[in-house]
Structure 1
Amino acid sequence: MSAPLRLVLFDVDGTLVDSQGSIVGAMTASFDALSLPVPDRKAILSIVGLSLPKAIAQLAPQQSDVVQARLVEGYKQAYHAHRLEQGMAGSPLYPGAREAIEALHAIPEVLLGVATGKSQRGLDALIEGHGLQGYFVTRQVADHHPSKPHPSMIDTARAETGVEAVNTVMIGDTRFDMDMAAAAGVPAIGVTWGYHTRPALDAATTIIETFDQLPGALDQIWT
């Protein structure tokens, strides 16, 4: 009897890549362009994982919808300019990320996917820039879904791949990822090297501190 299909979904920012420099820089440029007080670094990193409009709404709740929309567009422009200037140097893969992706991809019954608050353009550029084409069979981005922690990204990834919830795992660094997994009824692995503190990951099924621990965590969940 063949093994059931498994689906491993990765968050991106703070999980696969360390893009905090690009994110903080773009957010700073966006607020500066409108002569608004720039949120501190901790506040900016706390909203990573949310879709951009929701993130801006949390960072500038006192601003009007019009101003928030201008901040969103300013961030997009600044982030794109930063990526053109620095390439993937501004969003390097975390140690062990590529090896973990390649090892999982080599397992016939394991499918890989992405569930991220990034835009389609941003994710496609990152995947191409890091040479990760061909690894992810499903890519769920903020353009087509409600913001995390709504379960839409996971539900759609499961529908596209035909994998049951019990055989799906969400891997992420924020409470938004953990809460999204809970809302979708799938196990979650929290990673400590990202942008939220370990206590924020308390809804995780298990927590890992390095990519080396990922195979054991998956075995723990699936056996």
Structure 2
Amino acid sequence: MPPAAPEPILALFDCDGTLVDSQHMIVAAMEATYRGQGLVPPTRERTLSIVGLSLREVFLVLGADSPDFPPPELMVEAYKEAFNTMHARKPETEPMFPHVMETLIALRGRDEFLLGMATGKARRGVDRLLKAYAMEGWFAAIQTADIAPSKPHPGMVLQAMAEAGTEPARTVMIGDTTYDMEMAKAAGAHAIGVSWGYHPVDSLITAGADRIVTDFRDIPDVIAALVMAAADA
């Protein structure tokens, strides 16, 4: 009787700041949203610090110290309108970070890996991105702000594992924010932080990152090492 095939490894990727560099669109849309409400926009650094949260959570955080801040639902709709208007005028896709495409293709070619995505983007934005890069059908599980609790709640990881049929010990979250690291750890999964995103590396380590990578091409080997170490523990 042939040996049973090993359980799959779910490589679960964040999107903004991990796969693609969307900071210019995000910052510009945030500035347009605030100005449309007669408010002073947050700094670029402040805006990037909350990338990864769902939009409602973003505006709850940003307005926490302002008693006259508009309702978060109003700000969410204003942001969506600003972002979609800007994208319609300038539809260029957010650029991928170096070596993302070649590495995702390599992972897809290995039977032991499944690709997944857990992102604060809306599903509409994810679908637009996947279509632009001809990646439709690549991901076994896609969790977005439309269908799951905001990071760092573990819901996205838990739902992705259920859809992909993987266990926490064989699930690895790859992201650029503390929210990604905290979400992974809350779900019992491994966490890899990337150095090129929107949160400082020191913060990722404090938030629970098992490893930090500085080159996307290193991710498959780091995933394998984490999963193997867990199996041997």
Structure 2 length-normalised TM: 0.92
Query: Are 1:183 and 2:209 counterparts?
Result: no
Query: Are 1:213 and 2:208 counterparts?
Result: no
Residue 82 of structure 2 corresponds to which residue in structure 1? 78
Cα deviation 1:14-40 (Å, max 9, x = unaligned): 000000000001000000001101000
For the pair shown, the structure with the greater C-alpha radius of gyration is: 2
- Give the deviation of 1:210 after TM superposition: 1.0
Structure holding more helix per residue: 1
Amino acid at match of 1:133: E
Residue 68 of structure 1, aligned match among 66, 72, 89: 72
Consecutive unaligned residues in structure 2, runs of 5 or more: 229-233
Q: Is contact 1:52–1:72 with CA below 8 Å preserved after alignment?
A: yes
Query: Are 1:163 and 2:158 counterparts?
Result: no
**Cα gap change, 1:17/1:134 in structure 2, threshold over 3 Å: closer, same or farther?**
same
The DSSP-based 3-state class of the residue aligned with 2:71 is helix
Residue 38 of structure 1 corresponds to which residue in structure 2? 41
Residue 148 of structure 1 corresponds to which residue in structure 2? 151
Residue 9 of structure 1, aligned match among 12, 15, 19: 12
Residue 200 of structure 1, aligned match among 199, 203, 220: 203
Which shifted more, 190-199 or 56-65?
56-65
Q: Is contact 1:88–1:129 with CA below 8 Å preserved after alignment?
A: no
- Give the deviation of 1:68 after TM superposition: 2.6
- Give the deviation of 1:64 after TM superposition: 5.3
**Cα gap change, 1:66/1:34 in structure 2, threshold over 3 Å: closer, same or farther?**
closer
- Give the deviation of 1:129 after TM superposition: 1.4
Paired positions, count: 222
Cα deviation 1:99-129 (Å, max 9, x = unaligned): 1111101111211110000111111111111
- Give the deviation of 1:66 after TM superposition: 4.8
Q: Is contact 1:16–1:93 with CA below 8 Å preserved after alignment?
A: yes
The DSSP-based 3-state class of the residue aligned with 1:144 is coil
The DSSP-based 3-state class of the residue aligned with 1:142 is coil
Cα deviation 1:65-109 (Å, max 9, x = unaligned): 7533221111101111222222234x1111111111111011112
Query: Are 1:88 and 2:92 counterparts?
Result: yes
Q: Is contact 1:12–1:116 with CA below 8 Å preserved after alignment?
A: yes
**Cα gap change, 1:32/1:65 in structure 2, threshold over 3 Å: closer, same or farther?**
closer
Aligned counterparts of 1:6 and 1:156: Cα–Cα separation in 2: 15
Q: Is contact 1:118–1:141 with CA below 8 Å preserved after alignment?
A: yes
CA RMSD of aligned residues (A): 1.3
| Identical amino acids, percent of aligned pairs | 43
The DSSP-based 3-state class of the residue aligned with 2:41 is coil
Amino acid at match of 1:70: L
Q: Is contact 2:100–2:217 with CA below 8 Å preserved after alignment?
A: no
Residue 57 of structure 1 corresponds to which residue in structure 2? 60
Consecutive unaligned residues in structure 1, runs of 5 or more: none
